[in-house]
């Protein structure tokens, strides 16, 4: 991911991205461009980001 634009939700969520980069041998201050990412994937699909942050939520179905 060196020299890529990496999207992250700012406020406290960017720390997970930064820790991931460091753990994998990248210096987040030199090797990537950290970009503030919105909550939609528009920036990623519009080629404004090379890498985007995403989550998967488990949904529990309840039967009445």
Is the pLDDT higher at 55 or at 43? 43
For the segment 30-46, what is each residue's pLDDT rounded down to a tens digit?
A: 999 999 999 888 999 99
CA dist 56 and 54 (Å) reads 7
Q: What is the pLDDT of residue 45?
A: 94
Please count the CA atoms within 13 angstroms of the CA of 58 that sit on its side-chain side: 2
Q: What is the pLDDT of residue 55?
A: 81
Stated pTM of the model: 0.76
Could you tell me if 18 and 63 are in contact, meaning their C-beta atoms sit under 8 angstroms apart? no
Helix (H, G, I), strand (E, B) or coil at 45: helix
């Amino acid at each position: 991911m060196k020299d890529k634009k990496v999207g992250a939700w700012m406020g406290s969520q960017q720390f997970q991205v930064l820790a991931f980069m460091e753990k994998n041998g990248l210096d987040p201050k030199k090797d990537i461009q950290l970009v503030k990412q919105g909550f939609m994937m528009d920036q990623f699909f519009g080629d404004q980001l090379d890498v985007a942050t995403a989550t998967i939520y488990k949904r529990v179905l309840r039967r009445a």
